Amino acid sequence: MKRSKKKEENNTPLSSAKLSKWDRQYVWHPFTQMQEWEQEDPLIIEKGEGIYLYDIHGNKYLDGSSSIWVNLHGHRHRTLDTAIQNQLGNIAHSTLLGAASPPSIVLAKELVKIAPRGLTRVFYSDDGSTAVEVALKMAIQYWQQQRPPQKKKKTFVRLDVAYHGDTVGSMSVGGISLFHERFQPLLFPAIALDAPYCYRCPLHLRFPSCRTACLDPLEDLLSTRHGQIAGVVIEPMVQAVAGIITQPPGYLSRVRALCTKYDVLLIADEVATGFGRTGTMFACDHERVTPDLLCVAKGLTGGYLPLAATLTTENIYKAFLGEPGKTFFHGHSYTGNALGCAAALANLEIFKKEKTLVQVRKRSGMLQTLLKPLAELPIVGDIRQCGMMAGIELVKNRETREAFPLSERMGYRVAAECRRHGLLIRPIGNIVVLVPPLAATERQLRKMVNIVTKSCRILC
Ligand SMILES: *Cc1c(COP(=O)(O)O)cnc(C)c1O
């Protein structure tokens, strides 16, 4: 943690003390036990540059979580900064209800160009949760507007430990009990299937000899109950919040095939995996899958502004055409925000200019090599990675795979150690999660992994 002199000159200790006091006095942080937070000196990030973050004291940190999985090309990227400034010269926001705007038009066209083939329509919203809400509502209304109407098709299938956001609809198709259970009275029922958590396979099988047997129940379910099922909701390739649970090859394409066979919509939540995160533009591209509905958010603006989109097919779009009652009655105040769309366009421009996907593939190979030695540590049970997302599962006993009790807060302790060495990451339970910006160079990746290794060793 290097201190920059300049910072100390124009930032008096008093002002940082005040900020820290006011934060604890006025701000309620997300996913944070505020009683603990109030007792600590809060980390206050004031600046970013490339893949580094700087706090108000001038301490420098590697942004090992991409500011919670949103940042792609680094902070203060000139192309993004300029695009937003230029858009500000025209207008910050105007509504898409009854009017259009140049950046939202051009962005929709560009998104259709890069999306899995067959996705031709773009519906904007503000964040990952709303992108999922939109997909769920579109699916339900789509079935109602079939000729004849299929009003019984109203149930969703989801995976265990799924995470699709924190709003009521997206929680209903989620399965993280710590987050979701207490809200049960608000949630609609969805049918849960085992997650393909190969390290702790619910069927005690091994890939590939298992032949993705965990999907057999999906086939059984769809073959008998497809008349009641509106869609299957899935995070393709990686269930991120679940602890970077990576899906075995062929899993996603089998889900797609089953949905097609039984006339059930496939909703792909690519909020975390979209925009190069897994090494392809979309995770669905790994298996050449086109979902019926595709949800994107986090990386859409390169990590700059809250903007989301739900993409869908011409078939679904057409079901909403006709009399006024067939309208999709959904929209938010900031839907299609011009600054957000301008940032998203700049994001896509950088993908082209900097050949980001080529870089990511190289760098994820490096990351894989760098992570390998960690497998030797006595507390590391499993290392899972897909592109620039990695999860290191800490275990009490490598032989039995016995987990650390959550009360030991192993992930949290590793993360705290990493922070002392200048790396910010956010763990999930016993999983140390490393999600570097796509722009992280080999040197920077090496630094991150060295810090993670050192921090894990301390706790061995
Ligand atoms: C983060 C995330 C969401 C929720 O997105 P928000 O922008 O936080 O509402 C939904 N789905 C997945 C897979 C995510 O990772």
- Cβ of 269 closer than 6 Å to ligand 1, yes or no, is yes
Q: How far is residue 165 from each of residues 6, 157, 179, 460, measured CA to CA in Å?
A: 40, 16, 10, 34
DSSP SS3 for 321: coil
State the distance from the centre of ligand 1 to the C-alpha of 65, rounded, in angstroms: 14
Q: How far apart (Å, rounded) are the C-alpha atoms in residues 144 and 422?
A: 53
- Helix, strand or coil, per DSSP, at residue 63: strand
Q: What is the pLDDT of residue 180?
A: 87
The percent of residues in the chain predicted with pLDDT above 90, rounded, is: 95
Total residue length of the chain: 460
pLDDT of 385: 98
Is any atom of ligand 1 closer than 6 Å to the C-beta of 165?
Answer: yes
pLDDT digits (tens, 9 = 90+) for 40-75: 999 999 999 999 999 999 999 999 999 999 999 999
pLDDT for res 14: 66
Asked if residues 316 and 277 have their Cβ atoms less than 8 Å apart, the reply is no
Q: Which atom of ligand 1 is nearest to the CA of 298?
A: 7
The three-point CA angle 391-395-396 to 5° equals 160
DSSP H/E element including 414: helix 410-420
Q: Which residue has the tokens 């421009």?
A: 349
> In terms of C-beta distances under 8 Å and separation of at least 24 residues, what long-range contacts does 12-15 make, across chains too?
15/56
User: What's the one-letter identity of residue 71?
Assistant: N
Q: Residue 239: CB within 6 Å of ligand 1?
A: no
Q: Which atom of ligand 1 is nearest to the CA of 129?
A: 9
pLDDT of residue 146: 97
265 and 255 in contact (C-beta within 8 Å)?
A: no
Distance 69 CA to ligand 1 centre (A): 9
Whole-number Å distance between alpha carbons of 166 and 132? 10
Q: Residue 34: pLDDT above 60? A: yes
Whole-number Cα distances in Å, 397 to 35, 243, 445: 32, 18, 28
**pLDDT tens column, 231-250:** 999 999 999 999 999 999 99
pTM of the model: 0.96
CB 274 within 8 A of CB 240: no
> Do 266 and 226 meet the contact criterion of CB atoms below 8 Å apart?
no
- Ligand 1 pocket mutation pick from 70, 129, 168, 267 by most atoms within 8 angstroms of CB: 129
| Atom number, ligand 1, closest to the C-alpha of residue 297 | 7
Q: What is the mean pLDDT of the chain?
A: 96
Q: Tens digits of per-residue pLDDT, 331-346?
A: 999 999 999 999 999 9
Percent of the chain with pLDDT over 70: 97
Average pLDDT over residues 367-393: 98
CA 153 distance to own-chain centroid: 28
Of 168, 428, 163, 357, the C-alpha closest to 269 is 163
pLDDT tens, residue by residue, 124-156? 999 999 999 999 999 999 999 999 999 999 999
Q: Is 126 in the pocket of ligand 1 (CB under 6 A)?
A: no
- CA 129 to centroid of ligand 1, rounded, Å: 6
Cβ atoms of residues 65 and 331 within 8 Å: no
Report residue 220: phi and psi, to 5°.
-60, -45
Residues 384-442: pLDDT tens digits?
999 999 999 999 999 999 999 999 999 999 999 999 999 999 999 999 999 999 999 99
CB 135 within 8 A of CB 295: yes
C-alpha R_g of the chain: 22
| Residue in 274, 276, 312 with CA at minimum distance from that of residue 296 | 274
State yes or no: pLDDT of 12 exceeds 80: no
Atom index in ligand 1 nearest the CA of residue 127 equals 7
167 Cα nearest atom in ligand 1: 9
**What pLDDT is recorded for position 361?**
97
Nearest CA to ligand 1 atom 15: 272
Residue 5 CA, ligand 1 centroid: distance in Å: 38
Position 10 scores a pLDDT of 53
The encoded tokens of residue 449 equal: 């992994």
